[in-house]
């Protein structure tokens, strides 16, 4: 969270499901807007924020839920609220949070009905084997309850294309208010044809600023490789004909 966000009254911690986000290691909560979540969506790290943003853009994902539940891997119990888990800890006598409890980073519901539970990890910082032993117990419990569990592993770099573009695209997805008319779309189609063009030129045809032009990528009017580089003046784009496969960046395999 930036200093500006703090000055605007953004919280350092947010209660989400069974967890209080933003208190682990003293880190402030990372907040982002998502049309597929209940308003402002909290995450515990910048990498989690980026993954949540990419899921919010992904046409296969219809809902994004951070920290969907906590599992006691010994009893096999799922908890969906902070109150539930606190009561359960009292009943255990010894809390043993680190040994017994596992809370995934996200729950995604896909358009085909699959329920994906996601662990986000920066591949440069491996976790100790006892942690993964706990995760494996949790995975089996989730699978028996109809969830698909996967680990999304990326190396977070603040200046990387995906981080930069995820921020821009999700912001436009929520905040863009102008109308893109059928005439604009036809003009874009006529200009690009069957070839590629630069995003800056397409922006002019659409009557948009370069800052606004990525909305055309979000809407599926044009497509661009959002992992190849920062969306900008010379970004090569093609007609997308309403398709959004270029936003299917994440992989949800077990």
Query: Could you tell me which of 146, 139, 118, 150 has the C-alpha nearest to residue 71?
Result: 139
C-beta separation of 116 from 110 below 8 A: yes
| Dihedral of the alpha carbons of 165, 169, 225, 109, in degrees to the nearest 10 | 110
> Is the pLDDT confidence value at 23 over 70?
no
What is the pLDDT confidence band of residue 28, given thresholds at 50, 70 and 90?
confident
pLDDT of res. 88? 85
Please give the mean pLDDT across all residues of the chain.
89
Structure tokens at 226: 């959002």
Residue ranges of domains in the chain: 3-154, 177-242
What is the pLDDT confidence band of residue 42, given thresholds at 50, 70 and 90?
confident
> Is the pLDDT confidence value at 15 over 60?
no
Give the mean pLDDT of 176-203.
96
C-beta separation of 115 from 131 below 8 A: no
pLDDT of res. 12? 54
pLDDT of res. 87? 87
pLDDT of res. 26? 53
Tens digits of per-residue pLDDT, 200-241?
Answer: 999 999 999 999 999 999 999 999 999 999 999 999 999 999
CATH architecture of 177-242: Orthogonal Bundle (1.10)
What separation in angstroms does the CA of 119 have from each of 27, 35, 108, 161?
Answer: 18, 21, 11, 22
Give the mean pLDDT of 147-156.
96
Structure tokens at 72: 């006691």
What is the pLDDT confidence band of residue 14, given thresholds at 50, 70 and 90?
low
For domain 3-154, give the CATH number.
3.40.1350.10
pLDDT of res. 8? 46
> Is the pLDDT confidence value at 35 over 70?
yes
3-state SS, 64-113, equals EEECCCEEECCCCEEECCHHHHHHHHHHHCCCCHHHHEECCCEEEEECCC
CB atoms within 10 A of CB 96: 12
Query: What is the Cα–Cα distance from 114 to 117, expressed in whole angstroms?
Result: 10
Structure tokens at 195: 């070839």
pLDDT of res. 55? 97
* pLDDT more than 90, % of the chain: 74
pLDDT of res. 10? 46
Same topology between domain 3-154 and domain 177-242: no
Query: Could you tell me which of 98, 89, 100, 87 has the C-alpha nearest to residue 127?
Result: 98
189 by Cβ neighbours in 10 Å (0-12 / 13-18 / 19+) ranks as middle
C-beta separation of 37 from 65 below 8 A: yes
C-beta separation of 24 from 44 below 8 A: yes
What separation in angstroms does the CA of 213 have from each of 180, 205, 229, 238?
Answer: 11, 10, 15, 13
* pLDDT more than 70, % of the chain: 89
């Amino acid at each position: 969270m930036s200093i500006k966000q703090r000055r605007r009254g953004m919280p350092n911690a947010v209660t989400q499901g069974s967890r209080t986000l933003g208190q682990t290691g003293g880190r402030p909560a990372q907040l982002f807007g998502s049309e597929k979540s209940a308003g402002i969506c909290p995450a515990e790290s910048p990498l989690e924020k980026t993954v949540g943003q990419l899921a919010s853009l992904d046409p296969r994902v219809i809902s994004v839920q951070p920290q969907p539940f906590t599992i006691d891997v010994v009893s096999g119990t799922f908890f969906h609220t902070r109150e539930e888990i606190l009561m359960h800890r009292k009943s255990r006598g010894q809390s043993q949070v680190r040994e017994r409890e596992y809370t995934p980073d996200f729950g995604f519901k896909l358009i085909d009905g699959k329920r994906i539970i996601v662990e986000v990890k920066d591949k440069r910082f491996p976790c100790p084997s006892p942690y993964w032993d706990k995760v494996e117990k949790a995975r089996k419990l989730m699978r028996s309850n109809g969830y698909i569990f996967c680990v999304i592993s990326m190396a977070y770099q603040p200046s990387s294309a995906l981080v930069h573009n995820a921020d821009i695209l999700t912001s436009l997805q929520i905040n863009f208010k102008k109308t893109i008319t059928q005439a604009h779309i036809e003009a874009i189609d006529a200009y690009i044809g069957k070839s590629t063009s630069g995003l800056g030129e397409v922006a002019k045809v659409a009557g948009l600023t370069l800052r606004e032009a990525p909305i055309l990528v979000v809407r599926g009017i044009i497509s661009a490789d959002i992992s190849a580089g920062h969306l900008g003046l010379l970004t090569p784009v093609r007609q997308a004909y309403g398709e959004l496969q270029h936003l299917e960046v994440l992989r949800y395999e077990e």
